[in-house]
Amino acid sequence: MQSTQNPTQSLMYITNRPDIVFTRGEGSWLVDSEGKRYLDFIQGWAVNCLGHCHPAMIEALETQARRLINPSPAFYNEPMANLAALLTEHSVFDKVFFANSGAEANEGAIKLARKWGKKFKNGAYEIITFDHSFHGRTLATMSASGKPGWDTIYAPQVPGFPKAELNDIASVEKLIGEKTVAVMLEPIQGEGGVIPATPEFMRELRALTKRHGLLLIVDEVQSGCGRAGTLFAYELSGIEPDIMTLGKGIGGGVPLAALLSKADVAVFEAGDQGGTYNGNPLMTAVGYAVIKTLTAPGFLDGVRARGEYLRTKLLELSAERGFEGERGEGLLRALLLGKDIGPQIVEKARDMQPMGLLLNAARPNLLRFMPALNVTNEEIDQMMAMLRTILDSL
């Protein structure tokens, strides 16, 4: 094998990636191949809900690896059954399918809704989604997403995803017709810039979909698994959706996702849905450890408290620098900068010496914060101090 001087050279197909190779992680911290430490407020895009290399995850991985890694996708296994039971115990759903990514779970949700439409709604198949939504990078989930430009980039799209405006019930109502089978949304738009659907809108949407006999699908790939300060973000509005998808946080960093539904919607038949690695015991054992940790007494209270702490600190900074405030829930928050300096801040934060800070600008005019759910107030203070240093240098 040929060795190259720069280990990232063979990965050059992604052109805008910085030349950093991470080698270790612990909690809110990452270390690169040069030994530089980074305070991580991205956490694998809200994935590592327990931070890097959490002991409960390591324990689950090691124990399960010694026991059984992959029986066969045609049979059940113990960790997958345990995790499914845990998820139904802590949610309003009855049935669980596992997947390997958020996009795959959303594909499953779309298929389930279409199958339900065939069975119960005269073949209705359209799913109303929202401007600026993000549901994944497969062809159907890109078509469902409301990301500007995605309607043409891989045209023709998968048909059947008319777009409404978030928090505008009239824009949804206008799109409902004979072909409509469901409405699908992120309770908090993550990639779109941390935009929560208001509890009133969620309740109106539930009432509207019930009135028209439509399914309500929540994509909680980013907002779920404790991120919003509740186990699932739909709880914030007190509604009961028909279908929910999970990804990211459910595996705490390993490739695991899930599709949950109410019993009366679970219309998949043998062969309709599945995949070689769906419900893999190594991943579901970790998922079980993650959900157990998130649902341990007091954990989510802590997320809400730290979310409130971060919110207060962001508001202080916003007032001090003339920014436009903040928004979000729990530990998914955005600082509204009011000008397009987000990408510049992200770059400077990363390149800071001797320690770096990992932030994200979901849109150029804001910074998105998605730290580990067990981040400490001291780490939040440290992040704020680093952010102030960067703002001073602009």
Closer CB to ligand PMP, 134 or 323, in the complex: 134
Between 241 and 390, name the residue whose CB sits nearer to ligand PMP: 241
Residues 298, 301, 302, 308, Cα dihedral to 10°: -170
The correct pick among 190, 193, 253, 307 for binding ligand PMP (CB under 6 A) is 190
Say how many residues touch ligand PMP, by CB under 6 A. 15
Q: Which positions from 123 to 142 touch ligand PMP by CB under 6 A, shown as an x/- string?
A: -----------xxx------
For residues 42 and 84, which CB has a smaller minimum distance to ligand PMP in the complex? Answer: 42
Q: Which of 87, 103, 236, 337 binds ligand PMP (CB under 6 A)?
A: 103
Residue of minimal Cβ distance to ligand PMP: 102
Q: Is 66 annotated as a binding residue?
A: no
The kind and range of the H/E element at 144 are: helix 139-144
Coil/strand/helix, residue 221: coil
Q: Rule CB under 6 A: say whether 293 interacts with ligand PMP.
A: no
Nearer to ligand PMP, 186 or 242 (CB): 186
Please check if 382 is assigned to a binding site. no
Q: Which residues, 6+ apart, have CB-to-CB distance to 115 below 8 Å?
A: 267, 268, 272
Residue 139 phi/psi, 5-degree rounding, is: -65, -45
Q: Does 97 count as an annotated binding residue?
A: no
The answer to whether the annotation marks 134 as part of a ligand binding site is yes
Q: What is the DSSP string of 307-368?
A: HHHHHHHHHHHHHHHT---EEEETTEEEEE-SSS-HHHHHHHHHH-SSSEEE-B-SSTTEEE
Strand partners, 32: 22
CB-CB contact of 63 with 241 (8 Å) = no
User: Closest Cα partner for 369 from 338, 321, 335, 319?
Assistant: 335
Name the minimum Å distance from CB 342 to ligand PMP. Answer: 17
By CB under 6 A, which span of 148-156, 176-184, 185-193, 276-284 interacts with ligand PMP?
A: 185-193
Q: Which of these, 180, 141, 140, lies nearest to 164 by C-alpha position?
A: 180
| Residue 59 parent element (H or E) | helix 55-67
Q: Which structure tokens are listed for 20?
A: 């950093």
Q: Interaction with ligand PMP in 209-228: which residues (CB under 6 A)?
A: 219, 221-222
Q: Nearer Cβ to ligand PMP, position 91 or 387?
A: 91
- 102 in a labelled binding site: yes
Among the listed residues 266, 204, 196, the one whose alpha carbon sits nearest the alpha carbon of residue 239: 204
Annotated binding residues for pyridoxal 5'-phosphate: 102-103, 134, 219-222, 276
Q: Which residues bind ligand PMP (CB under 6 A)?
A: 45, 101-103, 106, 134-136, 186, 190-191, 219, 221-222, 247
Annotated binding residues: 102-103, 134, 137, 219-222, 276
